[in-house]
A and B are shown apart, each in its own frame.
Chain A
Amino acid sequence: MKLLILALKNITRHRLRSLLTMAGVAAGMFLFTAVETMQHSLAKVTQASADDTTLIVYRENRFCPATSRLPEHYLPTIRRIEGVREVIPIQIAVNNCGASLDVITFRGVPAEDLRKYNPDLVVIAGSYENWIKRSDAALVGETFAQRRGLKIGDKFEAVGINVHVAGIIKSKESQDNNVAYVHLPFLQQASNIGLGTVTQFNVKVASSDLLDPIAKAIDETFRSDSQPTVTRPEKAFFAETAKQMIELIGFTRWLGLGAVAAVLGLVANAVLLIVRARVKETAILQTLGFSRLQIASLVSFEGILLGLLGGAIGVISAYLFFHWQSFTLGNEGLTLAITPSPTILLKGLLVALLLGLLASLYPAWRASRQPIVQSLSQ
């Protein structure tokens, strides 16, 4: 503790140099946290878990909502398959099928089925009843509303569709927070798809071990129909449909590693400069009786503090940035909300601490090994 206080005082000795080092660390850790946040957000929507019980029925060989068209009358047939708990037909309209940072997605659903299908939806502003009553009403996801600055009573136009904001919803499923739910017939007509045609069916099954058999049963049922289907678990559907986006995000891992390497080099360089500038002072401390371990600890603490303080600035800035900016990556009609996570925040701080320690190991070793007499006479 006493050494830590001494290290903190040492950092303030050359304020500008310390601030510049911390600014560099902050920039590197901001980038690292941004990459980790993207990876984490992607993992959340693509990694299957035992709790997953949703299937997506899509038109075979189609990869974009604009081209996937299935007859709405498949609904009762799917519902009759054993193990199916709930089915909802969804018409999806998006402003952009390619990769984009500002995707607007409308989901048209039967008004009477939304709550039954998705009981986790919470209306945090406006009301569900108002949405039911008005045919052009929209329940807008919290992130979507935040991104577009929408509030209750607003009208907005996107994808050539004009809607009235009747409510703002929140869900633990990040996809729901990034879309606007509208009435199915309204969207079918407004998007010129026509009544009776939907993009997909979302099917909830009784348990996760039924996902595969039911998917097979659905596809088998419509195999010889004019609109054959391909049915996959929701997360596998995301992983397959948004392959390009996933590859792009996968590549960012290298950026994260680059940021980590840059931080490591920066702190190591700063601590090495500190050690070189204080050869005589270190010898004085050794003369007073500071052991090699104490000298090494003192130097390491400086590295850790530089890493941790700079890292904290970068990591917290990135967290707040993603919290307020509400970025949504979209591809093939699917959206990926880049949402900050406390886990990533803690991971970033831990990485900054470890980088500070790692970067100061060699300088600390050097400082602790320097010969006293020669150092005093420098």
Chain B
Amino acid sequence: MFITIRNLTKSFKKGPNLITPLQNLSLEAPRGEFLALMGPSGSGKTTLLNLIAGIDSPTSGDLMIDDHDVARLSRAQLTKWRSRHVGYIFQLYHLVPILSAFENVELPLLLMPLSRSERRARADAALDLVGLSDRAQHRPTELSGGQEQRVAIARAIVHDPELLVADEPTGDLDGESARSILALLTSLSQDHGKTIVMVTHDPKAAAVANRVLHLEKGQLVNPPATPASAVS
């Protein structure tokens, strides 16, 4: 299995109260699977996504991603692991406004021992893959929402990570742009073998995934289902 989660719990203190957004959650996902996480607000889906992405650490339980014991990595080790193996796609794109599309895509490559020409080749290839080669020198303010999200996806895949995590990637887009982004994600999963974990509230977005998981109060509420049955 590419992702193996056993009895994963995340809790933290908020004032005098102990909050547990995720409790004893277990799941597995093979390499290349496109997984959708659905559930009401506060169900723990974003917490699970953040744990899988390595930007948060669990309180207890096991989290293995492709032989990496992510739950046991230190903060510094997690940072390094993220920079090599994870691509994160945000709902609101979060591009750096002073940088061009090309420079935004190039950002993760600055952390790698690559020459300028190697960085250029990789960033160009990523922009080409998302269909934005002709917008490389445009700043985020000069792009539409859909184009910004494409740049964000290019930034997420430019260092060729095995795992892509997406937090409501179509949540801020119109229908046409959302469909195009979902098609892109599907292609990344099917044609490029990326394992994708996507949080969404949108059943249409979830429908493109191989599997949809529902969370409620920090736990999976139904066994793994096919997209059609889950959405219905």
Residues on A lying within 8 angstroms of B by beta carbon are 2-3, 6, 9-10, 12-13, 280-281, 284-292, 294, 372-373, 376
Residue among A9, A280, A284, A290 making CB contact with B79, cutoff 8 Å: A290
Q: Is the interface of B mostly helix, strand, loop or mixed?
A: helix
CA distance A280 to B80 in the complex (A): 20
Nearest opposing residue in chain A for B111, CB measure: A289
State the Cβ distance, A17 to closest chain B Cβ, in Å: 14
Residue among B53, B79, B107 making CB contact with A291, cutoff 8 Å: B79
Task: Sort A-B residue pairs by CB-CB distance and give the 5 closest, nearest first.
Answer: A289-B83, A372-B55, A2-B110, A289-B82, A284-B94
| Complex contacts, B86 vs chain A, CB 8 Å | 289
Within 8 A of A (CB), among B90-132: 90, 94, 96-99, 107-108, 110-111
The answer to whether B216 has its CB under 8 Å from any CB of chain A is: no
Q: Is the CB of B50 within 8 A of A373?
A: yes
Q: Is the CB of A291 within 8 A of B80?
A: yes
Residue among B55, B94, B110 making CB contact with A281, cutoff 8 Å: B94
Residue among B50, B76, B97, B107 making CB contact with A288, cutoff 8 Å: B107
Q: Is the CB of B98 within 8 A of A287?
A: no
Residue among B53, B75, B90, B107 making CB contact with A285, cutoff 8 Å: B107
Residues on B lying within 8 angstroms of A by beta carbon are 50, 53, 55-56, 75-76, 79-80, 82-84, 86, 88, 90, 94, 96-99, 107-108, 110-111, 155
State the Cβ distance, A337 to closest chain B Cβ, in Å: 47
Q: Is the CB of B56 within 8 A of A287?
A: no
Nearest opposing residue in chain B for A281, CB measure: B96
Given A281-B94, A372-B56, A373-B50, residue A287 in contact with residue B82 (CB < 8 A): yes
Residue among A12, A284, A292 making CB contact with B98, cutoff 8 Å: A12
CA distance A287 to B107 in the complex (A): 11
Q: Is the CB of A288 within 8 A of B83?
A: yes
Q: Is the interface of A mostly helix, strand, loop or mixed?
A: helix
CA distance A288 to B112 in the complex (A): 12
Q: Is the CB of A290 within 8 A of B111?
A: yes
| Complex contacts, A285 vs chain B, CB 8 Å | 107
| Complex contacts, B90 vs chain A, CB 8 Å | 284, 376
Q: Is the CB of B76 within 8 A of A373?
A: no
Q: Is the CB of A286 within 8 A of B50?
A: no
CA distance A281 to B97 in the complex (A): 10
Q: Is the CB of B108 within 8 A of A289?
A: yes
| Complex contacts, B56 vs chain A, CB 8 Å | 372-373
CA distance A2 to B110 in the complex (A): 7
State the Cβ distance, B210 to closest chain A Cβ, in Å: 25
| Complex contacts, B53 vs chain A, CB 8 Å | 287
Residue among A6, A10, A287 making CB contact with B88, cutoff 8 Å: A287
State the Cβ distance, A29 to closest chain B Cβ, in Å: 27
Given A372-B55, A373-B56, residue A289 in contact with residue B98 (CB < 8 A): no
| Complex contacts, B50 vs chain A, CB 8 Å | 373
A to B CB contacts below 8 Å, 12 in the list = A6-B110, A9-B99, A13-B97, A281-B96, A284-B94, A285-B107, A286-B55, A287-B53, A288-B82, A288-B111, A291-B80, A373-B50
